[in-house]
Chains A and B, each alone.
Chain A
Amino acid sequence: MTDTPDAASHDFGDRVVGPPLPHIIETEVKGDISLYDPKHERVLVLNGPASDVWLLCDGEQTVAQIVELLAVAYGQRAESIRDDVEATIRQFVQEGFVPVP
């Protein structure tokens, strides 16, 4: 994506993520989140961990804080989940569901 170079190429652990763009429609499917962008007719169906990441992209947490919160929730070390969490957030940004942090 050419319009999100920061999210794709830089460490953004200290940046606040979200809140989601206002036109994004969110629904729950058996506990997990699915997202719809009506402007671009784009759908993102999230699994459980990605749903947790999405719910924490609330405009108040930094990426590092999201990693820490999920590490505690999952009983894992932050280093072991950081790459996955950051990749998920990058996907949200690159696909236009949250603004570039």
Chain B
Amino acid sequence: MSDLVGRDGAGDLPLRILDSAVLLRVEPDEVFESVARLLAPFAVDRINDSLPRHVWALAEHRNSAEVPASSYALYRDGTAMATRPTWALTVASLAAALNRTAIDEYQGLAVHAGVVASQGRAIAFPADSGGGKSTLVAACVAAGFDYVSDEALCVDRDRGHVVPYPKPLGLSAWTRERLDLNEEAVAFPAGRSEALITAQDLGGAVAQGHLELAVITLPAQVDRLDLQPGSAGLGMVALLEHSFNHYKLGERAFTLAAQLANQVEVWLLDYDDPVRAAQLLKSRWS
């Protein structure tokens, strides 16, 4: 059994993911080990009863005695959420579902962004899905930055600090090849076009504790490498445009975005190669 995680009982993994509490139940031990490794940054000894709590379960589902083929099911609070033909795909569904729930239940400001850190200072890359956030973040972690998230910049609504959200990175085959990741060492579920990996798989580490947002970098994939200063207003627009939940926070989202825009440097990053871009960022903010 992995020493990375606490367990309530056989196959149980208690987690705290942002403001959500999760008790995860996984049947086969070998799958449990892989899932526990992916979710290790969120593992806790016991679940805080004051948080919204969900029980997620992964289990093999045999269709019938006459039909020996098995499928694998994902349950939330006893309700089947998905059935998939392989464990790998079921775990991928679990990761996506946990992400949606965590963002939905987060009480602070959540902005669609990749985030890395150096010496307690966070650098955010606000961008839409498909904008290369995960690849850029992975390249930065491989270059020596600490991993914060490939999905969301999570900001405490009262104090304005960054809360790490180190979910498993979802990396394409192209990205894994570009970063020279060893497919044998990486991952679960290996062999899919998109694999889930950890910061450790990249040779990096997860950022710990509360971070100060120091830099907003607005990335654009174009045919050159360039880093130019941008205005605070651009940073503010990026935070609000890419926010998942500003509408829930109302005026507080506005004042928080203004507070953050006032405290950060804003940079415009043009890049074509994520590895070279990460090296450029590292040379500036290491």
Contacts and interface: CB of A to CB of B under 8 A. Distances in A.
Nearest to B247: A41
A39 B240 CA distance: 17
A32 B240 contact: no
User: Mostly helix, strand, loop or mixed at chain A's interface?
Assistant: strand
A10 interface: no
Given A29-B236, A32-B232, A43-B240, A38 B250 contact: yes
Interface in A32-91: 32, 34, 36, 38, 41, 43, 45-47
Given A34-B258, A41-B247, A47 B240 contact: no
Contact of B258 (A27, A41, A46): A27
A34 B233 contact: yes
Nearest to A41: B247
A29 B232 contact: yes
Contacts of A38: 250-251
Contact of B262 (A30, A41, A45): A30
Contacts of B247: 41
B261 interface: yes
Contacts of A43: 240, 254
Contact of A34 (B250, B251, B254): B254
B182 interface: no
Interface in B182-222: none
Given A36-B254, A38-B251, A47-B231, A29 B237 contact: no
Contacts of B262: 28-30
B286 interface: no
Nearest to A51: B233
A29 B258 contact: yes
Contact of A32 (B233, B251, B254, B255): B233
Contacts, number: 41
Contacts of A36: 251, 254
A31 B48 CA distance: 43
Contacts of A21: none
User: Mostly helix, strand, loop or mixed at chain B's interface?
Assistant: helix
A35 to B, nearest CB: 9
Interface string A5-41: 0000000000000000000010111101010101001
A88 B59 CA distance: 60
Contacts of A27: 254-255, 258
A29 B255 contact: no
Contacts of B254: 25, 27, 34, 36, 43
A46 B233 CA distance: 7
A45 B251 contact: no
Contacts of A46: 233
A29 B231 CA distance: 10
Interface of A: 25, 27-30, 32, 34, 36, 38, 41, 43, 45-47
28 contacts: A25-B251, A25-B254, A27-B254, A27-B258, A28-B258, A29-B233, A29-B261, A29-B262, A30-B231, A30-B232, A30-B233, A30-B261, A30-B262, A32-B232, A32-B233, A34-B233, A34-B254, A34-B261, A36-B254, A38-B250, A38-B251, A41-B247, A41-B250, A45-B236, A45-B237, A46-B233, A47-B231, A47-B233
